Amino acid sequence: MVKHSDDFWQNHGFRRFAPSSFLIFAVVLVLSASAASLVVVYRTGERIISERERAEALDERDLLQEVDQEQGLNSVASAVARRTRFASSGEHYGLFTAAGEPLAGDIVGFQPEFRGADWRVMHLARPSSMTLHVEGAVLPDGAVLVIGRSLANLRTFERSILYGFVAAVAIVAVAALAAGLVLNFLILARVDAIAATAERIAGGDLSARTTIADRRDPFGRVGASLNVMLERIEELLTGMRTVTDSIAHDLRSPLTRMKGALARALEPGASEAQRLDAIEAAHEEADHALATLSALLDIARAETGLSRDMMQVVDVAALVEELVDFFTPVIEDAGQRLEVAVPPAPVVARVHPALLRQAIGNLLHNAAHYAGAGAVVQVFVEEDDDGTVRLTVADTGVGVPQDQRGRVQQRFVRLDPARGSGGSGLGLAIVAACAKLHGGVLRLEDNAPGLRAVLEIKGT
C-alpha cells in the first residue's frame, strides 16, 4: 500500500509540491523578521500611547488643582462629578477626603497608594474590577484627587497589531509558498531533464544525451559536463569491450599454439629432438602471451597517468641515439639504410624513459619489419622554441593508407592479417599511449612514399 501511495504521489507530480528545505528556510526567515519588527512596533506604539494619555492626565490634574486653589474643594468635586458623567470610556476619576471618604467620581474605593501615584498601574476592585494607570495628587487641604486611565486603549492597540501581524504572516506565507512552488517547478523541470538522461544511462542506453537550453546558466553547464562525461564513458566502454574481445582473441591464439606444441611433445612416437623443438615452441608462445599482457598493463598505466611519478629529466637526443644504435643491426639485416639527425646539443625533457624507449623501439621495429628491403629509415629529433620535442621515425616503404592511419593506433589492430606471425597489434597503441602520457600526440603522416611517425612530447 505504501508503495502504491508513493507511486501515486510521484505519478501525479505531487512531489513537486513537497516543501523543499529552501522554502521552509525562507518562511522561518520571514516569520522571525516579522516578529522582530512587531516587537519593535509594539514597544514603540505602547510608549507613545501611554505617554500621550499620561500627558492628558497630567493636564487634567493641573487644571483641577488650579480649580481647587481658585474656587475651593467643592468646585473640584463638581468638576470631577461632571467629568465622570461625560467621560468617554476608559477615563475614570475619583476625589477623596484626607480620611479616604469618596467625595466625587466613579473611583470609590480609596487606596493609600493613590497619594503620590505617578502613572502607576493599579488594580481596583470597586465599583468594578479594572486595571488603570493612575495619576494621583494630594490637594493642600489633604484631599486626594485621582485620575485613572484604563489600559483598554493599549489592549486595543495590541490587538490591532496582532491582527496586522497575522494578516502579514498569512500574506507572506502564501506569497512565499507560491514563489517556492514556481521556483521548485522551474528547477525540477530542468533537473528532471538531466535526471531522466542519467536514468536512461543507468538503464543501459549509453547513447542518451541531455538537451541543453542555455550553456551560460548553471544547469546548462551541468548538462554540458554530463554530456562530455557520457561521451568519455561511452568511449571507454567501447574501448573496454574491444579490448576484452581482443585479449580473448590474442591470448587464445598463442595459448592454442602452445597447447598444440605441448601435445606434439607428448606424442609417444616423438624423438627427443622433436620433443625439445615442440617444448621450445611452447615456451615461445608462453612468452608471446606474457608480452601481450605486459604491453596491455603498460598501456593501461600510461593512459591512466599512473606512470607519472616515474617521469624524470633526461637527454632525449642521447636516449634516441642509444636506441638507434641498439636497433641498427636489425635494420641493416632487413636490407634497409639508416639515417639519423639529432641536434648536437642535449635535448632535455621530462619524460618516462622506459616507456619512451619502448615507444621509439616499437617505431623502429615497425620500420624494420614493414618498410621492406631497400627502404631508407630516417630518425629525427627536433625541439621547438616552446619546448615541444618531436621524435620522428620515417621510412620509404609501402606506408599505411590514409584511412587506416587512425585505426593502427588502436589496440590489437594489424593492417595485414596475412602477416599474422607479427606482433601483438599493440605496438602503435603503446606509442600513442606514450605520447598521451607526455601531453603530446602520435601523428602518422604520408612520407611520400612510406610512413612518417611523429611522436610529440610537450616539455614540462
Partner 1 sequence: MSGRVLVVEDDVDTADYVAKGLREAGFTVEHVADGRDGLYMASSSAFDAIIMDRMLPGMDGLSVVRALRAAGVETPILILSALSQLDERVMGLRAGGDDYLTKPFGFSELHARIENLLRRRGGKAVETTLRCADLEMDLLSRKVVRAGRSLDLLPREFKLLEYFLRNRDRVVTRTMLLEQVWDYRFDPHTSIIDTHISRLRKKLDDGFPKPLLHTLRGVGYRLSETA
Residues of the shown chain interacting with partner 1 in the complex, contacts defined by CB under 8 A: 276, 279-280, 283-284, 287-288, 290-291, 294, 297-298, 301, 306-307, 309-310, 322-323, 325-330, 333, 353-355, 357-358, 361, 365, 422-424
Supply the minimum distance, in Å, between the C-beta of residue 453 and partner 1: 17
CA pair distance 419, 417, nearest whole angstrom? 5
302 exposed, middle or buried (CB, 10 Å; 0-12, 13-18, 19+)? buried
Cell of 69: 486653589
C-alpha 434/C-alpha 411 separation (Å) is: 13
Comparing CB distances to partner 1, the nearer of 170 and 310 is: 310
* Contact of 377 with 368, CB cutoff 8 Å: yes
Q: How far is CA 83 from CA 64, 162, 192, 204, in A?
A: 11, 33, 75, 92
User: Of 186 and 290, which CB lies nearer to partner 1 in the complex structure?
Assistant: 290
Amino acid at 446: D
Least Å distance between CB 380 and partner 1? 21
93 DSSP β-pair partners: 147
Considering the complex, state which of residue 35 and residue 300 has its C-beta at the smaller distance from partner 1: 300
Nearest-approach distance from CB 455 to partner 1, in angstroms:
17
Pick 267 or 333: Cβ nearer partner 1: 333
Q: Which is nearer to partner 1, 280 or 339 (CB)?
A: 280
Q: Measured from the CB of residue 201, what is the shortest distance to partner 1 in angstroms?
A: 32
CB of 186 to partner 1, least distance (A): 51
| φ, ψ for residue 395, nearest 5 deg | -135, 165
Helices 353-370 & 316-333 angle (0-180, nearest 10): 30
Chain centre to alpha carbon of residue 63:
76
Instruction: Specify the residue, 51 or 333, whose C-beta has the smaller distance to partner 1.
Output: 333
DSSP string, 351-378: E-HHHHHHHHHHHHHHHHHHS-TT-EEE
**77 or 442: CB nearest partner 1:** 442
**Interatomic CA distance for residues 171 and 175, integer angstroms:** 6
Task: State in angstroms the smallest separation of the CB of 329 from partner 1.
Answer: 5
Shortest Å distance, C-beta 251 to partner 1: 14
